[in-house]
Copies of this chain bind each other. A is one copy, B any other.
Amino acid sequence: MTTLIDSTIQQHQACIDACNKCMQACEECLSSCLKEPDVQARTHCISMLRDCADICSMASQWMSRGSMFAKQFCEMCAMICEACATDCEKFQDAHCQECATYCRKCAEECRKMVA
């Protein structure tokens, strides 16, 4: 019997998980950036994190529903994740460095999903 979990694993589960993790990392990183003494230097990064969290969240939801636009959506998601990673990598604190790693991983899974 095919169950919910089975059918999804055969499809996009790795990408859904990567999007969920990246959304979480971006939201956490944004909140952490707001508490840093050099927040003034991070405003571009904060704007990027805001977009990246939103698009990862919606990508995860659209893959879950089997949207006919999931591939196009993930293509844009990959592009935004890469841009966000590049911004986060400029800051040496743990939350930005980790967030960049989650962003790169998510971009990679999105590209695999599109391929």
Contacts and interface: CB of A to CB of B under 8 A. Distances in A.
B4 A94 contact: yes
A77 to B, nearest CB: 10
> Which of the four size classes fits the interface of chain A?
35 or more
Contacts of A72: 76, 79
A1 B98 CA distance: 13
Contacts of A85: none
Interface of A: 1-5, 7-8, 16, 20, 23-25, 27-32, 34-35, 37, 39-40, 43, 46-48, 50-51, 53-54, 57-58, 60-62, 64-69, 72-73, 76, 79-80, 94-95, 98-99
Count of identical protomers in the assembly = 4
Identify the interface centre among A16, A24, A30, A67: most chain B CB within 10 Å of its CB: A24
Nearest to A62: B51
